[in-house]
Amino acid sequence: MLSSSKFEELEKLVSEMYDDSLSVRDMQRLEELLIDDPLAQLRYKELVGIHIALSVASGGSDTAAPSDVRGTEGLLLASRNERTPVSKAPAARPVTHLLPWALAAAVALALGLFALQSAEDSALKVESSSLANMAPSYPALPEIKHVSWEGPSYQPAPRDAIPTAAIFAGAISLRLGKGKTADGYVICLQPGMSVDLVSTFDATGENSLSIVELTGGDRPAAKKLTFHNAGEGPMPLHANPIAKNRRYGVLGHWSEANFGPHPRYFLLTGVHKLAIPTAVEDWRMSDMKVLIEHENAVHIGWDDSGPPPSEGHPYRPDGDYDDLAATLFYTSNSSDELPASSSLRVLASHDPTPINVPEVIDSAFEFELPPGSIALVKAICEARDPNALVIMDCQTKEVVWSGTKQPAEGVYLGTISISNPTQAARKLCLLAIHKVPTATDEVWHASKLRTLYEQPNFFILGFEDSRNDDDFNDLRVNLLIESAPNSVSDVLQ
């Protein structure tokens, strides 16, 4: 219960933290007030949000195991006991880091506010000298000074110094200068955790994914890794024929484990060039969207400037968020196996849409989902007529998920994560259905299927509706099947 005296003490401590900073004793007292008291935690979040908003408006690293980085041939496939996401729950962070989940809302508010200010007025400075004594190093959200094929380069000493407690996993805004912002995604790797990242590409123009570790101090971004789609390789059937020197599908796999006592933070960004670049064309930051963020999987997509326009017209992004994508899988360093389940676990970016599936299906893609593995399905629909995606259990004929394109989503239909916690392999099938525009009924018909591109455990599938233009791009599906190590130690073997 948050009494009036406790309320006044909490307000006084938060005010002093932003005015003069707190002593070690006062910092300990602040934590005592917040521990196991949801009302105090809620009020603390509100007070921090007010202080940061007002300041904006008025205004080395832990021991770590080496990264495991592989290209296409090194896709890691095994079994996994436990997957833990970038969590937004209070229990995901220890109180000794001053409740970063409580600061998250305030930081998001501040980032949104400083994006509206000019470069001179948008400096976000959080004074917290006592916090700096609570961990060896504190990263900062860096300012981008240059963009190349390797991704953004950052200012060596960012003005926007933010303590670790204020860095929250998830989508963030980075400052480009001149009042502009760019998209990024922060991974928080807790002690005893590992992350596996699979990068996929399907773009006409050059695209790159950059991974950096936020280390703070004079080196705000270190250990840069880049995956890109430049180079010779097989071309999918749906690819734009003007694309030259371009690769597709799974082009990189990165694994990282945290054996240290403190969280580690990594920043993901996407960059691209125009589909037909000029001699002086610069690299640009790509638009980013978190398509699914659940405990089984995190899937992030980037959208470039779009396909080549007609002469005299500007580039227009197509909104598929599929030019570049990163799928994250988290593993705990726990040897305890999760209890077996009798059913699949399905998590999706959109609620399923009930659909009357045709009784006769003569064109479906079947795949096996081993125990402990995850299938990540992403669907893009470019058809003018009604099209839908259906995922079924081949044995029971049960519909696992079905959905139609949402008008507000453009060409993006949805992302679905299907995990198999059972002790037996499950056989699933993907099928597309459509309605005939000239028909007077509302009957769904099965679409024709073609495999547009294939790699081990990764497929690009194309479906053709009743217009029969044979582009097999009316509904397009990316399927990634991922199994992973049993523990953190297995990641680096």
What's the confidence (pLDDT) of residue 55? 44
d(CA 344, CA 426): 9
Helix and strand numbers, DSSP H then E, in the chain = 5, 25
Complete DSSP assignment for 437-463? TT-SS---EEPEEEEEEEETTEEEEEE
What's the confidence (pLDDT) of residue 286? 93
Encode the chain (493 residues) as per-residue pLDDT tens digits: 455 667 778 888 877 776 666 777 888 788 888 887 777 777 777 676 665 544 433 333 333 444 555 543 322 222 223 333 333 322 222 223 333 333 443 444 343 433 333 333 322 222 222 222 333 334 456 678 778 877 887 765 544 444 444 556 788 888 877 768 889 999 988 888 889 999 999 999 999 999 988 876 555 566 678 999 999 989 888 888 888 889 999 999 999 999 888 888 899 999 999 888 777 778 899 999 999 997 768 999 999 998 888 888 888 888 889 999 999 998 886 655 556 677 899 999 888 988 888 887 778 999 999 998 999 999 999 888 889 999 999 988 899 999 987 655 678 889 999 999 888 999 999 999 988 877 777 789 899 999 999 999 999 999 998 777 778 888 999 999 997 444 333 333 3
CA neighbor of 318 nearest in space, from 454, 204, 235: 204
What's the confidence (pLDDT) of residue 370? 93
Contact 305, 223 (CB under 8 A): no
d(CA 151, CA 147): 6
Q: What is the DSSP letter of 179?
A: T
What's the confidence (pLDDT) of residue 75? 26
d(CA 129, CA 21): 6
What's the confidence (pLDDT) of residue 371? 92
What's the confidence (pLDDT) of residue 467? 74
What's the confidence (pLDDT) of residue 455? 95
Helix axes 38-57, 24-34, angle to 10 degrees: 130
Neighbours of 81 (CB within 10 A): 16
Contact 317, 285 (CB under 8 A): no
What's the confidence (pLDDT) of residue 10? 81
Q: Is 26 exposed, middle or buried (0-12, 13-18, 19+ CB in 10 A)?
A: middle
What's the confidence (pLDDT) of residue 360? 75
